[in-house]
Chain A
Amino acid sequence: MAEPFISTPVITDAAESPLVGHYEQGTFGNLDRGAQVTLTERFPLAICDVFAWTGSETKSANAIKRATKLALTKTRDAVSEDAQAFRHAPGRWTVIAIDPALPETLTTAVGDNATVVDLSHGRTVLRIDGGQSRRVLSKLFPIDFKSDCFPLEKGIATKHHEIFAQIQRVGDDAFDIIVFRSYARAFWHALRRSSEEVGYAVE
């Protein structure tokens, strides 16, 4: 029953980040204590939504695990050097990988257990890292970023203003924020603004 994968596959050399022309490297804001956070855009990435059919959640999780080599379970999110995945709704994962073949690999791996939707072009992933990352994020999201409330590797769905966004904790003080591509520029602007008080570097 598996449907052929509907491809807008891969990201070719022609791919262009939505932040082109708005991604200025350097250090900014109040640098009295140096740049206390670092902002980066992670581009390009392969991004998929995996939506398990009721009853096939475990199989789907295992399939994602196989396809990405992540230490993922039905309820545990995971991050590795070249991939990450988190459950943002019951039976539903956002999977991100450096390997552009992710959509096909995943489609094959999950088979009839889940629907895979390629969102590689539809999302922008921004990373914030550094001692003050939680404070900056607190300005933007009504989410508790405290370590034990937001454990390492966990990912969640929320929104910024009225617009859907996702966040995954990828390091001690590092978070990936996944926003709609169309919203990336406005969000980037807000993120930079919120970081000015603590000083930031764009790498």
Chain B
Amino acid sequence: MTSHRRPEGGSAIDRDDTVGFTVDGRQYFGLAGDTLAAALLANGVRVMGRSFKYHRPRGVVAIGVDEPNALFTVTTDGVREPNVRATEIEVFDGLAVESQNRWPSLDNDLMAVNQLGGKALAAGFYYKTFMGPVIGPLKGTRFWMMCEHVIRRAAGLGRPGTARDESRYERINAFCDLLVVGGGLAGLHTALEASEAGKRVIVCELEPRWGGGADGKKESEIRQIVDSLESKPDVTLLNRTTVWGWYDGNTLAATERITDHLRTAPEGAPRHRHWVIRTGHVALATGALERPIVFPGNDRPGVMLADAGHRYAETFGVLPGQHLTVLTNNDSAYQAAAALRHVGANIRAIIDVRPEIGAGAQRLADRAGGALKLGHAVVGTSGAKGLKTISVARYNHQTKSFSGGSEQIETDCLLVSGGWSPVVHLASQAGAQPIWDEALQAFLPPDPDKHWSVHGAAAGDLDFGHDLSPAPAPVFEIRHPGKAFVDFQHDVTADDVRLAHQEGFRSVEHLKRYTTLGMATDQGKTSNIAGLAIMADALKMPIPEVGTTRFRPPYTAASLGAIAAERYGDLFPHRLTPMHDWHTDHGARMYAAGHWERPESYNRTGETVEQAYVCEAKIVRQGVGLVDVSTLGKIDIAGPDAAEFLNRVYTNGFAKLPVNKARYGLMLREDGFAMDDGTTWRLAKNRFLMTTTTANAGKVMSHLELCLDVHWPDLRVHVTSVTDQWAGAAIAGPKSREVLASCVTGTAVDNDALPFMGIVHGTISGVPVMICRLSFSGELAYEVYCGAHHGTHVWEALMTAGKPFAIAPYGLEALGTLRIEKGHVTAAEIDGRTTARDLHLDWMLSSKKPFVGSAMMDREGLTDKSRWTLVGVVSRSGEKLHGGAHVVAGDRDEPGASLGHLTAMAFSPEMNAYVGLALIEDGESRIGQHLYAADPVRSQTHIPIEIVSHHMVDPKGERMHG
């Protein structure tokens, strides 16, 4: 293969540093500083990809983020990254990439038969067929799904993998006065000026190198500015950093690529860093992108953007071909031609659709050499795997007519320039419409406001050098028979655009959706303008009236890993109770409850969870057990109006609660449904400690704060979350008092000193504790609270004191069993849809005072007799019940309608049966009925049950009061 590398030149490459890399296992060599595209071009490789639909062979057309064709999969440590543009992959020794969307190989892709579908595969064809037969085995959606299966495999680009990506992604927050997007000359100058005025500046440039599209002659100027910026403490220069999203409040998102181009990453360095930049002002200096012209055969490998060809030579010392031709509608391509000639390229011809050109262009044409064919156009190309010849005909771009025959020119690279489109994407993300500029035949950014400005080429300030005009002739398509591509990657042709028009899909947004124009990985950077120009032509409307499709983040695709940085995997936030290590050291299986981790059960070797929890529950009912309740929400409520405040937020009264007593309370939402329950302890006249369920701790806290700040600012009450301050352990069981008596000092714990719902203060093993006698299990029980740093110490002291009584720790499962037996409710029953009455908590609804929810709780929907109410359920067959099973009246074959469902189940050692709680239609009246618990989705069981009162064990509460 011929080398296309010039003997000299190439600002980015290091000629002394040869690197080896592989494509589909085949070895190539490039130079350090090369992109994959440059290195492959240097190796004479032309086919770098296959298109989406027709699997046509494609070469590289661009040099940057607008590249639609040359996509590869990069695999690092077994993790695949599909669809990476060859123009963005920096080669290093050992780089291994894979081509995509081809089988068996890039050069010979059997899927290319799709091309034979030709016109039948035109836009919208999917919608018109594949409906399948209306009868028979393929009716309904079957036939389509069969076809879809094949279509899906043909579609898609690169193949993703299944191996976990172990790379590190990091996030960082930044603040500045000025964010400069784009490190070309315009951006660098803007940054310099601002930094000299003392501003805090961040400059982001997506390329590795500074300077953007600037001419090679500007290198020292660029170096100087960069050096000067680097020396300023308040300037942050970020290369390989793409600003991709502009969000409200001048918050911008950027991705910095830190290690992708390195063979080995430095310790601690993330692969990508997600920058969230909050800035006073944004300076957009994002440059302009050259756009191609649509003409038949324009997708043959070897057809390339003129500026790209120019820059491959200048930056990488690579010629895009041996015999070059140029097709243009504007002056900028003359510069490219002249520059390429200067580095030794052979320019065969310059074909310009314009009948005449200015002196500047003429001078460059003379320098470039080759035939200058004004008023001509390319009407076709040929070449099997790459461009060999082009056909050129005389063309009048005003009348769009051809004259004379066509002439063949041999060329292996056609450089095309269809004019320039300023990069308006970011400015338009927030919704502002870009503005059409008739002279430039391009959209310019909308009018800036005080939050942003736009500079350089992005502002339409296209300066190609003196004597050259930035204004192109308004030619977007050379219409001539043959497949002419508008969107390369998605194989959208000019005829597809016209077909969309013909079928009524005339809005640009319809055009996009019907043809998929602009929906590929390049998001239409090379195709959108041509597409809408062709539509405008069909509609006989000016381009601005057709408008553009909406710009959306991200500007270029951003890795999911970067955006998710530090929010997944082992960095997911979690909270541990003070006794966490003790639990895990003693065999506890931990259970993820929101942010918290809680012991589920303590599994002695070989035990199942059920064996463990039954054993633990038995120990509590018969002896004594200890459970960690530290995760309960705890709120300190203080102030002269604290009791009044509680009266308003709880359904029941708190004003008369004596000091050192606790009370069970229920809260409703404003709409009258139950919200949360818990006990509240009066520690002093004006000081309460409220507990909430673990799950609702945050919600209740905010609710209280809202009530105080928004509804009742006149109340003198302070609320403070003290959840973390206290470790809590509930000691429960007939022996619990004896255990406490043996270890608590400073207070008595007998029934007189510590009656039901009483509170005392004492010490355990030298540590101050607060003890409240209350019971969730229904047994004689106490909650022992101490400072969290003392949690393990007190827990261990209780375990030691309990040893003579065979104390055992119990987990959430056993706790659940005990409360089910007692008919105590939790989140499974207070599920946001139940009322106090449904849960038999209507005794807590005070009629003496209004409270949150009182005005709404008696509406017909909340008092309807057929509502589901809480009952107990006992398995009559001894079979295991399942939470989530439904209660039905009929047998397995004809279960009938659901009457409600089991909210929770457990094996009750006390009743020696599987029991549960259920919410069922008119529950009260069904007590004593024999029904079934049906779980068809999971266990397929259909278990005979008896409906009982939800108070299954010790309904009178004698044990806990004892």
Contact = CB atoms under 8 A, between A and B. Distances in A.
A197 B576 CA distance: 27
A185 B720 CA distance: 23
A146 to B, nearest CB: 7
Nearest to A196: B268
Nearest to A159: B573
Interface string A107-130: 000000001011111110000000
B683 A149 contact: no
A41 B129 CA distance: 68
Contacts of A118: 725
A143 B172 CA distance: 10
B197 interface: no
B326 to A, nearest CB: 47
A142 B787 contact: no
A182 B638 contact: no
A6 B684 contact: yes
A97 to B, nearest CB: 16
Nearest to B170: A139
A154 to B, nearest CB: 16
Interface stretch (A16-24, A68-76, A77-85, A168-176): A16-24
A155 interface: no
A151 interface: no
B269 A49 contact: no
Interface residues of B, number: 62
A103 to B, nearest CB: 11
Contacts of A49: 720
B595 interface: yes
B768 interface: yes
Interface string A1-20: 10110111111111111101
In this complex, the member of A32, A44, A135, A181 whose beta carbon has the largest number of chain B beta carbons within 10 angstroms is A181
A12 B790 CA distance: 8
A44 B789 CA distance: 9
A8 B724 contact: no
A115 B724 contact: no
Interface stretch (B488-496, B507-515, B564-572, B904-912): B564-572
Interface string B835-862: 0000000000000000000000000000
B638 A3 contact: yes
B573 A12 contact: no
A59 to B, nearest CB: 15
A12 B716 CA distance: 34
B712 interface: no
Contacts of B278: 142, 144
B722 A119 contact: yes
B363 interface: no
Contact of A1 (B170, B174, B686, B791): B686
Given A117-B722, A122-B725, A161-B567, A182 B576 contact: yes
Given A29-B268, A30-B266, A197-B269, A14 B766 contact: yes
A162 B566 CA distance: 13
B725 A119 contact: yes
In this complex, the member of A20, A21, A143, A197 whose beta carbon has the largest number of chain B beta carbons within 10 angstroms is A197
A32 B266 contact: yes
A37 B817 CA distance: 50
A179 to B, nearest CB: 9
Contacts of B683: 6
A18 B576 contact: yes
B222 to A, nearest CB: 27
Contact of B724 (A123, A139, A193): A123
B636 interface: yes
Interface string B633-672: 0001011100000000000000000000000000000000
A194 interface: yes
B770 interface: yes
Contacts of B876: none
B722 A1 contact: no
B886 interface: no
B726 interface: yes
Contact of A9 (B716, B768, B793): B768
Nearest to A146: B175
Contact of B175 (A11, A139, A149, A189): A149
B297 interface: no
Interface string B261-277: 00000111110000010
Contacts of B574: 183, 186
In this complex, the member of A14, A146, A197 whose beta carbon has the largest number of chain B beta carbons within 10 angstroms is A14
Contacts of A189: 570-571
A121 B726 contact: yes
Interface string A129-172: 00000010011011110100100000000001111000000000
A182 B787 contact: no
B575 A180 contact: yes
Interface string A53-70: 100000000000000000
B718 A115 contact: yes
B270 A197 contact: yes
B786 A8 contact: yes
Interface in A30-59: 30, 32, 44, 49, 51, 53
Interface string B145-178: 0000000000000000000000000111111000
A8 to B, nearest CB: 4
B341 interface: no
A63 B793 CA distance: 34
Interface in B770-805: 770, 785-793
A8 B787 contact: yes
B795 to A, nearest CB: 11
A9 B718 CA distance: 20
Given A8-B725, A139-B566, A182-B723, 11 more contacts: A1-B686, A8-B770, A14-B766, A15-B787, A17-B789, A29-B268, A117-B722, A119-B724, A139-B171, A161-B567, A180-B575
Across the A-B interface, the 10 shortest Cβ-Cβ residue pairs: A196-B268, A122-B725, A122-B724, A121-B787, A15-B789, A14-B793, A182-B575, A121-B788, A161-B573, A197-B268
